[in-house]
Amino acid sequence: MSLPPLTTLPNPIRPAFTKGLTPGSVIVNIGPSHPATHGTIQIVAEISGERVVRTDVHCGYLHRGFEKECESHTWHTLIPYVDRLNYCSALINDFAYCEAVEKLLGIELTPRCRHLRTLLAEYSRIADHLTCVAAALMEMGAMTAFLYLVTIRDYVYEHIADLTGARVTHSYGRIGGLARDLPDGWLQRLEEILEQMDTFVDRVHGLVDRNRIFIDRMRDIGVIATAEAINWGFTGPILRSTGAPRDLRKDTPYLSYGELEFEIPVGIKGDNYDRYYVRMREIDESKHMIRQLIDLLQPGPLCVDDRRCTLPDKQAVYTEIEALINHFKLIMEGPQVPAGEAYSAHEGANGELGFYLVSVGGGVPWKVHCRSPSFVHVGGVHRMLDGYQLADLVPTFGSINMIGGECDR
């Protein structure tokens, strides 16, 4: 079963430095197959003793050619690719992309669709924060907290699978609406899960919040100030942890966020502990928003009644010729989106998730560009790694929630 070993394997990167600045320092390579760098980041660090002098962060090991792939698919069939960008919170990507296309088409969503999209976006955000905190805690050795959070996340996944058909990468958003409506009993199960989530998250708070070891490892580590964070492009929980209450859901409300009442948790210092705590508080705020949305949901049509993008009813497709032709054209050629360009940004779990679409008036896009928060954060993470200890690299990197699919697209 053994292969003849290759005597030389090519090095896919060129590090920025090969010699140390300070005498006696060592250049160490961390990653890219490493448990704490989420499998796809390589950090070439210059270490002097235990202190990190400077780092060179390399991403791109999960570059899958998203933009090129999108240019050969119709506006509808590229929704699974969009899903796999930030795979921890797949629904937020779906809805951000669909809203950009709806801007180009000039479509306004039905109220039920808006509320449901907001509810599912918050549900996805909870799943993403649970994953991020679980992974960060596991990398520091707190295995119990990881198991608690992944258990409750699994209930969330099974529940979303009841609705969308898939546990992780759902592909549920459609241009002009959603794939299907809620099944019976879905909202009751949602209430049950939110209550169970209270129990599990409280256990983790009890284990970790005032734990001496956790505070020593996270407080005053990876500190970044607000002005510097904005200069390096940080958005989302990282910017909020520095003390700036910037959140696209409040600043530029979209979907149903204008009708909801929620707070924006902010940190005080911009260190790892603040980022952890901001995410935990955001889970609470999302739960609060979901409960408000369950009350706001009214029965009504889900998809907008626009034959440019909405697939006609199956019964009509089987019996009427116009519906059949409409269905055929939508599937084979894709929805005909008028020429133009649009940029639409949502508050993803990591920050500003934007889609810049260029259309030349056909069923296939000319360009689909994703402005991903993780990519920009990886560009600025060296400000949080330099000057700290080698062991601090792990919790700092875990706290910025770098998602490979989103970073490398």
Partner 1 sequence: MSATTPVPRQDKSAAFEYLTTRKDEFVGWARKFSLFPYPFVTACCAMEFMSVSSTLYDTDRFGAALPRFTPRQSDLLMVVGTVSHKQAPILRKVYEQMCEPKWVIAFGVCATSGGFYQNYAALPGIDKIIPVDLYIPGCPPRPEMVIDGIMKLQDKIACERHPIINKDF
Partner 2 sequence: MITGENLLDRVQASLGAQALETGMAHGILVLQVEPESLVAVVGRLKQEFGFDLFLDVTAVDWPQRRPRFDVVYHFYSTRDFVRVRLKTRVEEADPTVDTLVPLYGSARYMERECHEMYGIRFRGNDDLRPLLLYEGFIGHPLRKDYPKQQEQPLVPYRDVKP
Summarize as ranges the residues that interact with partner 2 (CB under 8 A).
Answer: 3, 6, 9-14, 16, 58-60, 63, 65, 67-69, 71-72, 103-104, 228, 230-233, 235, 244, 246, 251-252, 340-343, 345, 352, 354, 356, 358, 366-367, 369, 371, 375-376, 378-380, 383, 408-409
Q: Which one of partner 2, partner 1, none is in contact with 33 (Cβ closer than 5 to 8 A by kind)? A: partner 1
Sheet of strand 340-347, all strands in order from the earlier edge strand to the far edge: 340-347, 352-359, 367-371
CA dihedral sign of residues 157, 160, 162, 167: negative
Residues 11, 15, 17, 22: is their CA dihedral positive or negative? Answer: negative
Q: Write down the least CB distance from residue 372 to partner 2, Å.
A: 9
Please identify, using beta-carbon distances, which residue of 308 and 329 lies nearer to partner 2: 308
Which tokens hold the place of 255?
A: 């979907």
Of the two residues 149 and 237, which places its CB atom closer to partner 2 in the complex?
A: 237
- Binder of residue 235, out of partner 2, partner 1, none (CB less than 5 to 8 A by kind): partner 2
Q: How far is the CB of 203 from partner 1 (least distance, A)?
A: 13
Q: Could you give the angle at which helices 111-139 and 143-164 cross, rounded to 10 degrees?
A: 160
Report the nearest approach of partner 2 to the CB of residue 393 (Å).
19
Whole-angstrom distance, CA of residue 222 vs CA of residue 208 = 19
Residues 114, 177 contacting (CB under 8 angstroms): no
* Contact present, 245 and 226 (Cβ < 8 Å): no
Provide the 3-class DSSP secondary structure of residue 186.
helix
Closest separation in Å from C-beta 361 to partner 2: 14
Give me the residue label for tokens 């929805």: 335
Give Cβ neighbours of residue 68 (< 8 Å, ≥ 6 apart): none
Candidates 210, 93, 200, 185; CA nearest to 153 is 200
Question: CB neighbours (10 Å) of residue 105?
Answer: 21
Minimum Å gap between C-beta 274 and partner 2 is 18
Residue 291 CA to residue 191 CA, distance in Å, equals 8
The residue among 5 and 23 lying less far from partner 1, judged by its C-beta, is 5
Beta carbon nearer to partner 2, 226 or 292? 226
CB 366 within 8 A of CB 338: no
- Report, in Å, the least distance between residue 188 CB and partner 2: 38
Per residue, the 3-state secondary structure of 65-88, as one string, reads: CHHHHHCCCCCCCCHHHHHCCCHH
**Binding interface with partner 1 (CB under 8 A):** 1-3, 5-6, 9-12, 32-35, 38-40, 60-65, 68-69, 80-81, 84, 87-88, 131, 134-135, 146-147, 150-151, 153-154, 157, 167-169, 404-405, 408
Q: Choose the contact partner of 352 out of partner 2, partner 1, none; CB within 5 to 8 A by kind.
A: partner 2
Q: Looking at beta carbons only, is 143 or 227 nearer to partner 1?
A: 143
Instruction: Closer to partner 2 by CB, 59 or 260: give it.
Output: 59
Closer CB to partner 2, 157 or 232, in the complex: 232
Between CA 75 and CA 296 the distance in angstroms is 30
Q: 117 touches which of partner 2, partner 1, none (CB within 5 to 8 A by kind)?
A: none
Least Å distance between CB 278 and partner 1?
22
| Rounded least distance, CB 251 to partner 2, Å | 4
Residue 59's identity, in one-letter code, is: C
Q: Quick one: what does residue 345 bind among partner 2, partner 1, none, with the CB cut-off 5 to 8 Å set by partner type?
A: partner 2
